[in-house]
Structure 1
Amino acid sequence: MAKRITVKGKRRNHLPLRLNLMFFVVFLLFAILIFRLGVVQIVNGEKISREVQKTEMIASKYEVPRGKIYDRDGRLLVDTISKYSIVYRRSQNTKVDERIEIASRLAAIINLPKDDWKVTERDMKDYWVAVNGEESDRRYKQAVEKRYPDAEKQNKLSISEQDQIRLDTITKKDIDFDDKTMEIIAIKHNMEVGYALDPQLVKLGASAKEMAIIDENLEDLKGVSVEPFYERSYPYEGTLRNIFGKYSKIPAEQQAEFKAKGYSLNDRVGTSFLEQQYEDLLRGKPAYDVYETFNGEPVGEPNREEGESGKDLVLTVDAEYNKQVDQILQQAIKMGRGMGSGYLKEGYAVVMNPKTGEILAMSGQKLDTATNKFSDVAINNVLTSLQIGSTIKGATVAMGLEEGVIRQNEVINDAPITIGGTKKGSYVNMGPITDLTALERSSNVYMFNIAMRMAKYPSNGVAGASVDAAAAIMQNYYSQFGLGVTTGIDLPYEAKGVQGTPDRVTLLMDRVIGQYDAFTPLQVAQYVSTLANGGYRVQPHFLKEVLASNSIEDETKKVDYSFKTNYLNRIEVSQANIDHVREGFHRVVKGERGTAKIIAQTGIDAAAKTGTAQVSVYGEDGIALRDGSGQPVRSLNSNLVGWAPYDNPEMAWAVFLPYMEQETVNSKIGHDLVKAYFNVKDVPWQTKPN
């Protein structure tokens, strides 16, 4: 048998070849990847960067209830009520034709009253351009070629210039739309007022039927929803209505200011008086839905940032007492007209606590003689300046005593004075009287002597008179009492009064009896309060407390802030002289010949001062009326100031009745103010219209 012979040798290894192949493939893949990254970065980098920038976070705002306003006893004066309303939120890239389509669908569902159409001519022209694009382009091209034959100039027109040329091609006939189209334009206008994703109020207060139809058609109404919007209501109707002010969309002239504070242009804010003054407190903190958007469209579900309702305000006023003051003024105006004061149409009254500055009541009543109805004009107590007549004599006597030109109880003969051919006197010759009697009976001559002595006016001529110096001293004293300076009332603005510059002695004499300068009823109330409290000018204010939202209604009253009494200055008059003047005011009510004796019938110990000022009569157009001979028609401003009780005052008041010829009516108003405040029953007299 043959032997098998085996040849020994090396086995072939294929592993390096496979590894090399694998490394080559990996290298090739990396090369492709690097090449693609290069293309992305170098070729498409800018485009991708723009796309990434289109992704951003946007907040959509939701209203929260505005703070409520209460009177000092917790009575609701200004409420916030919810009205389900139709709202539109547009995305950043919603096109005009899409908005027109939605507006057209809404117009078929809702009834937007004509009174709510805020359509401008620009709105109508923009609508015409949107629905007549080809015709608009044709007209635009013709207009540009006609106006600018040079093609280079045509290419350099700015966007605003192009828009204006396009709008100029639209005729009045083009925009003579029917009511159906106008309603669509009005809805479209409401949809475009503010920023994207912010709620645009299309219609305030939707009906149940409108809400139901919208809910059924939300897929075809992209961006439309039904949400609560908050409105103001006024349980006390006309009382203090215009003191509260307005709550409305931001006025055009204030948009930059509010935008800087983070407001949206379609936000509603307090635009006047208390609503404006305390906007930061009443507004609260809006709620937001924060969206991530891509290319202007929301992506995913939003994150909700909860808001906070506005703070509630408690005012110093007593709503029931204020309502009585309204009625007292209305009755007095009717009574005065019945007694022959035909030009009398309005009256004003301010009642404040002279120790704290709290406004207890503020009323302004204006009669519409055509309808025989009254309207609330209480804010005129702050904005309107009127001559105050003899009510200023308390400040005049205090000044005369402090300057040393008269002495307490000094006797001066009340008889007419003739200066430069002008005869000036009191309403009756009173003979020898003291300063207290001068206040009690309202002597003009006694005040004239104070003015002449301050001006160093000699009995034998005008030489040596120091009119300018005397006028400056007078203004200083009157300002210390609050006359001719702002009172500091917590409102956005107030009138300062009107003070002239007397350049002769006779004008100084007019000034010291209240026939020269003009002041607001609020300034006069501050002045008499300064006398009442013993010489301290206190800041008047409406705000009493700031409360956490709804804490009164929840019976958990939480006070965040209380207004503290603010003394603005102490008048530079000795206490003895202040007390002496106060006694003069006391005699006006308690004295035998006091001009306001009727107030004493209430049984409340009070002090007061009556006043009348002769003034020209002005018509509704602001033009002075003239009689048949061309002479100015003259009438009287009938005024009253006072406080009660005399020794420990709780209330001080100022009453103004422009064009009231019957001087007794103002004292009767004072009687009723005291009677109502102290709830006095069965007193002999009450104002009633004839």
Structure 2
Amino acid sequence: MDKISNAASENKIFSTRLMLALVFIFVLVFILISRLYSLQISNYDYYIEESLGNQMRMLPITPIRGKIFDRNGKMIAGNQFAYKLTLTPEKTNNVSETLLLLKKYNFINDKDIEIFNKNKKRYKKFHSIPLKYKLNEKQVARFLVSNQFIGVDIESYFQRIYPYNASSVHVTGYVSRMNKKDKALYNKEDYLGTSFVGKTGIEKQYESLLHGKNGKKQIERNVTGRVINTKIIQKATKGTDLYLSIDLDLQKKAESLLEGKRGAIVAIDVQNGEVLAMVSMPIYNPNWFVNGISHKNYKKLRTSKDIPQLNRTIQGLYPPGSTIKPMVALIGLEQGTITSHTKTYCPGYFKLKNVKRKFNDWKRSGHGQVNVRSSIAQSCDVFFYKLANKMGIDNLHDGLKPFNFGEKTGIDLPGERGGILPSKAWKKINKKEPWYRGETLIAGIGQGFITASPLQLAVATAALANKGVVIQPKILKSTHAHGESIKEAKKGIRKQIPIKDIHNWEEVIQGMKQTIYSPRGTARKLNKNLKYTLAGKTGTAQVFGLDAEEQYIAANLDERLRDHALFTGFAPIKNPKIAIAVIVENAGSGSSKAAPLAKKLLDVYFEKQSLTQ
């Protein structure tokens, strides 16, 4: 027997279900409308940009790096049009497989892959990441003919080139690929798309000027990842061109004079501090570094005992030897320890009271009676032993400090070292020992703890020529920004050493003049056929100390233990124009090995001067 249906109950259930269904439909419609509102109205700009991003991307335009010229407009560093292979991860299905295929077809090698994997963290997925630089025309043609790699392209760029190869490398420096350290050093936004930065020299010192400013471009790709349209949004601003104070003719002449040697030559303009020549030998080719130095060349540089990458002009610290004697004599005169009439007898050695050791003169037979001028000209050690002993180390320290010894010159090059100017306090702090009287004597002839760079010696010599004006040396002469006129660079700071009596300065300069022109002057051979007046000082700096009775015989020593040869000077004597410092490592006599090099370079300088007058 069938159950009697309950119509009221069924209607109630149906109504409830219908209500739930309507609510559900209403909720779905509400969600749909809300989503449409969000997509079409609230976040329209965002999603339209996202959708366009599937085919359009904003990429940086790397600016062309500024060029570097010498003072006469000869290009030392420029740019060369070249091609590179790039990969865009966003458009590549499998990056690892693509790299292996590229390697298989000899477009790249394991080193290229290694560098790519290191650098890709710097880029976004839609950036074109460099795979290989400096492709030749044959490689480009082969790739374009058989291109089967989606997301891999050939792009043009400007590559740094140094037309004179190794010449001036320690001044100019070089550029190379950015690393983690560089990334942290430079502004991320400014360097988007930049692969190369200055690593040393002027390239590093003035990186921000040389780099220029990034531009922006919008690229459109098709579904295969190929660029089908490019729109420039903002043009890149070319880097600033730099004109250096360096004279390339003098630079190359100095390099030829030091060829096959270890050493340095610095020549500066006495009147304004501009560096005319700055050579450290040996040198190396900066072009090796631009696209990544080969293992062979890198090993050659790293294992060389001659340390080619050391810029000896500002990083090489040497005992100044006798080249410091004119300053020591001047300090003695200015402090009143001696006068221009002071005479000293030199028997070939000096002894301190109650000290057994003899402090020998370089001339064992002695110089006889000498005064300020002749002691400088003949480089009499005994005169300066006695003078230093009378002054004491702290007075000597205080007198040398204004000449910029013991501190950096402030030249516009990275990596300069300041040298050592010793005192009692310096030794106590650095050596944890007291100062001994004998150490004062050898400091008076530029030996012992005192060290200086060739640039410091040139600056101090220029200060003598200027009668007390110490000028901060400068390399940058002028700049030429894109679309602007050439601007003179800021000049170096000038400091005046206090002068008690100008005649004291003239007395010392006369002693340096006699070094060249006196029959007993240590550089008398230079005055033969000299077409300009020259004041100078020779020097020989010991690499290690000798015992009192021990005689220096170069032939018995290892080459690298022999004395360094030095020469400092300026010319002409009246109205000086140029000061020079020369050091030849382990060459021996300053008068025979360093002084002739200085004369040959000065000859070229004055010959050029006569042609321009």
Does TM-score exceed 0.5, indicating one fold?
yes
Alignment of 1:588 with 2:510, yes or no, is no
Alignment of 1:640 with 2:567, yes or no, is yes
Distance 1:576 1:59 in 2: 70
Q: 1:449 to 1:118 in 2, by over 3 A?
A: farther
Question: Which of 349, 368, 375 is the matching residue for 1:431?
Answer: 368
Find the counterpart in structure 2 of residue 498 from structure 1.
420
Indicate the larger mover: 312-321 or 358-367.
358-367
Percent identity over the alignment is 23
Find the counterpart in structure 1 of residue 257 from structure 2.
328
> 1:591: how far off?
1.6
Question: Which of 97, 102, 106 is the matching residue for 2:98?
Answer: 102
Distance 2:26 2:576 in 1: 92
Instruction: Check the 8 A contact 2:560/2:586 in 1, yes or no.
Output: no
Q: Secondary structure at the match of 1:355?
A: coil
Instruction: Check the 8 A contact 1:405/1:454 in 2, yes or no.
Output: yes
Question: Which of 251, 259, 262 is the matching residue for 2:179?
Answer: 251
> 1:233: how far off?
1.7
Distance 1:62 1:88 in 2: 16
Letter paired with 1:569 = K
Find the counterpart in structure 2 of residue 405 from structure 1.
337
**Per-residue CA shift, 1:351-388, capped at 9, x if unaligned?**
1111111111111223999xx99996672211110111
Find the counterpart in structure 2 of residue 548 from structure 1.
481
Question: Which of 480, 489, 494 is the matching residue for 1:563?
Answer: 489
Q: 1:262 to 1:232 in 2, by over 3 A?
A: closer
Question: Which of 26, 34, 39 is the matching residue for 1:41?
Answer: 34
Find the counterpart in structure 1 of residue 162 from structure 2.
234
Letter paired with 1:80 = N
Question: Which of 311, 335, 347 is the matching residue for 2:263?
Answer: 347
Distance 2:559 2:197 in 1: 44
Distance 1:271 1:569 in 2: 31
Q: 1:261 to 1:349 in 2, by over 3 A?
A: farther
Instruction: Check the 8 A contact 1:440/1:595 in 2, yes or no.
Output: yes
Instruction: Check the 8 A contact 1:62/1:199 in 2, yes or no.
Output: no
Find the counterpart in structure 2 of residue 422 from structure 1.
357
Find the counterpart in structure 2 of residue 201 from structure 1.
130
Distance 2:368 2:116 in 1: 77
Q: Secondary structure at the match of 1:446?
A: helix
Distance 1:632 1:445 in 2: 28
- Superposed CA RMSD in Å reads 3.8
Find the counterpart in structure 1 of residue 407 from structure 2.
485
> 1:102: how far off?
3.1
Find the counterpart in structure 1 of residue 279 from structure 2.
363
Name the count of aligned residue pairs: 532
> Given the two structures, how large is their TM-score scaled by the length of structure 1?
0.69
Q: 1:437 to 1:250 in 2, by over 3 A?
A: same
Q: 1:669 to 1:59 in 2, by over 3 A?
A: same
Q: 1:427 to 1:187 in 2, by over 3 A?
A: closer
**Per-residue CA shift, 1:39-94, capped at 9, x if unaligned?**
45389979x97984956796312323211111111111112111111122333xx6
Find the counterpart in structure 1 of residue 315 from structure 2.
383
Letter paired with 1:422 = R
**Per-residue CA shift, 1:585-636, capped at 9, x if unaligned?**
111112221111122222211000011121139xxxxxxxxx9x99998421
Instruction: Check the 8 A contact 2:540/2:589 in 1, yes or no.
Output: no
Find the counterpart in structure 1 of residue 537 from structure 2.
609
Instruction: Check the 8 A contact 1:643/1:650 in 2, yes or no.
Output: yes
Letter paired with 1:488 = G
Letter paired with 2:362 = Y
Find the counterpart in structure 2 of residue 518 from structure 1.
451
Find the counterpart in structure 2 of residue 316 from structure 1.
245
1:48-447 to 2 correspondences below 5 Å: 52=47, 59-91=58-90, 98-112=94-108, 116-117=111-112, 119=114, 194-215=123-144, 220-260=148-188, 262-264=190-192, 267-290=195-218, 302-330=231-259, 345-366=261-282, 379-415=311-347, 416-419=349-352, 420-428=355-363, 429-447=366-384
Letter paired with 1:409 = H
Mark the runs of 5 or more structure 2 residues left unpaired by the alignment.
1-23, 285-299, 425-434, 546-553
Q: Secondary structure at the match of 2:166?
A: coil
Distance 1:305 1:381 in 2: 43
**Per-residue CA shift, 1:245-266, capped at 9, x if unaligned?**
2211223223222245632486
Alignment of 1:449 with 2:386, yes or no, is yes
Distance 1:423 1:118 in 2: 66
Distance 1:319 1:433 in 2: 42
Letter paired with 2:212 = G
> 1:408: how far off?
1.9
> 1:491: how far off?
1.0
Greater radius of gyration (CA):
1
**Per-residue CA shift, 1:133-181, capped at 9, x if unaligned?**
xxxxxxxxxxxxxxxxxxxxxxxxxxxxxxxxxxxxxxxxxxxxxxxxx
**Per-residue CA shift, 1:187-219, capped at 9, x if unaligned?**
66666663333331111122334433544566x
Instruction: Check the 8 A contact 2:541/2:563 in 1, yes or no.
Output: yes
Distance 1:190 1:252 in 2: 9
Distance 2:102 2:113 in 1: 16
Distance 2:57 2:173 in 1: 33
Letter paired with 2:369 = P
Distance 1:364 1:306 in 2: 40
Question: Which of 448, 461, 472 is the matching residue for 1:528?
Answer: 461
Letter paired with 1:432 = Q
Q: 1:283 to 1:251 in 2, by over 3 A?
A: same
> 1:529: how far off?
0.8
Distance 2:234 2:460 in 1: 50
Q: 1:227 to 1:571 in 2, by over 3 A?
A: same
Distance 2:368 2:503 in 1: 26
Instruction: Check the 8 A contact 1:250/1:265 in 2, yes or no.
Output: no
> Given the two structures, how large is their TM-score scaled by the length of structure 2?
0.77
Distance 2:230 2:265 in 1: 57
Indicate the larger mover: 383-392 or 320-329.
320-329
**Per-residue CA shift, 1:222-276, capped at 9, x if unaligned?**
3322222222222222211232222112232232222456324863111222101
Distance 2:558 2:118 in 1: 53
Mark the runs of 5 or more structure 1 residues left unpaired by the alignment.
1-30, 120-185, 334-344, 456-469, 552-557, 618-626, 682-690
Q: 1:367 to 1:290 in 2, by over 3 A?
A: closer
Q: 1:680 to 1:204 in 2, by over 3 A?
A: closer
Instruction: Check the 8 A contact 1:255/1:265 in 2, yes or no.
Output: no
Q: 1:110 to 1:190 in 2, by over 3 A?
A: farther
Q: 1:399 to 1:559 in 2, by over 3 A?
A: farther
Find the counterpart in structure 2 of residue 599 from structure 1.
526
Instruction: Check the 8 A contact 2:544/2:561 in 1, yes or no.
Output: yes
> 1:303: how far off?
4.8
Instruction: Check the 8 A contact 1:394/1:439 in 2, yes or no.
Output: yes
